[in-house]
């Protein structure tokens, strides 16, 4: 299985802050990388597919970039509803595997 | 809008079989273009892909679960089901049914609300 490693595991930030989350994979995966947001007690929700394609309805303050083994999710101007856990997922090789998650908490 | 809803027992005894059903509305599991499947998450833990099925009946399973796992469709009810045999406490998790788009990066674009299955005697 491809190992997917996110950093940091958690972070504290304030409303209005810029936040970046990094995802690294154990082998090159092109851009077969998706990002999800999970609110407490809810199912994950797809934010970004293929490393940088924002899903319809997702605010433009979310963006993704990367290819190969290194990927970044950026949230510009963090909003109260953005405090959640974020997961990246590789789908280049089966089985699809997820990072361990990054919890974004209120400072 | 596609909606997925899990149903099934919330408590299963060790060594028995876990059985869940996902009811789909707003989309047909009989049409191509999507995989229909399951992801699980232990309480407070990370996400693990379980497997999915395509409209053709082809199944794709996580190798770590393959020997105990079956995913099957009921096209007449627009449902698909999960069977996981010989369960242990390690199978305790929230189980989400999902839809994944066929194609580039195959993102999981719709999820059910999830159902907690506890394995305990």
Nearest to A1 by CA among A67, A101, A98: A98
Exposed/middle/buried for B44, CB within 10 Å: 0-12, 13-18, 19+?
exposed
Residue B42 at interface with chain A, using a CB cutoff of 8 Å: no
Pairing label, strands B59-61, B48-53: antiparallel
Query: Are B113 and A43 inside 8 Å of each other by CB?
Result: yes
Would you state the pLDDT for residue A81? 95
Would you state the pLDDT for residue B63? 98
Peptide bond into A95 cis (omega under 30): yes
Would you state the pLDDT for residue B83? 98
Could you tell me the two tokens for A61?
A: 């303050």
pLDDT digits 0-9 by tens, B6-62: 999 999 999 999 999 999 999 999 999 999 999 999 999 999 999 999 999 999 999
B53-73 b/e (C-beta count within 10 Å ≥ 16 → b): bbbeeebbbbeebeebbbbeb
Chain A hits for B34, CB-CB cut-off 8 Å, are none
Query: Are A46 and B107 inside 8 Å of each other by CB?
Result: yes
Question: What is the arrangement of strands in the sheet containing A62-67, beginning at the earlier edge strand?
Answer: A4-7, A19-25, A70-75, A62-67
Residue B114 at interface with chain A, using a CB cutoff of 8 Å: yes
Query: Are B105 and A36 inside 8 Å of each other by CB?
Result: no
Nearest to B101 by CA among A82, A18, A49: A49
Pairing label, strands B34-41, B79-84: unpaired
- In whole angstroms, give the CA distance from residue B10 to residue B26: 26
Nearest chain B residue to A91 by CA distance is B105
């Amino acid at each position: 299985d491809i190992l997917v490693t996110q950093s940091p595991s958690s972070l504290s930030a304030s409303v209005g802050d810029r936040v970046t989350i990094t995802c690294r994979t154990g082998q090159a995966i092109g851009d077969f990388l998706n990002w999800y947001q999970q609110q407490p007690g809810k199912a994950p929700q797809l934010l970004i597919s293929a490393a940088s394609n924002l899903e319809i309805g997702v605010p433009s303050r979310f963006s993704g970039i990367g290819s190969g083994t290194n990927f970044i999710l950026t949230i510009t101007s963090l909003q109260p509803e953005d405090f959640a856990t974020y997961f990246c997922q590789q789908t280049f090789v089966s089985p699809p595997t997820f990072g361990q998650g990054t919890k974004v908490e209120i400072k | 809008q596609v909606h997925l809803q899990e149903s099934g027992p919330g408590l299963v005894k060790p060594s028995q079989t876990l059985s869940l059903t996902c009811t789909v509305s707003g989309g047909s599991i009989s049409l191509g273009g999507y995989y229909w499947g399951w992801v699980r998450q232990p309480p407070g833990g990370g996400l693990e892909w379980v497997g999915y099925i395509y409209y053709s009946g082809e199944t794709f399973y996580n190798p770590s679960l393959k020997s105990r796992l079956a995913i099957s469709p009921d096209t007449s009810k627009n449902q698909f089901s999960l069977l996981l045999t010989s369960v242990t406490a390690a199978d305790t998790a929230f189980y989400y049914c999902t839809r994944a788009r066929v194609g580039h990066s195959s993102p999981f674009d719709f999820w059910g609300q999830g159902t907690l299955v506890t394995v305990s005697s």
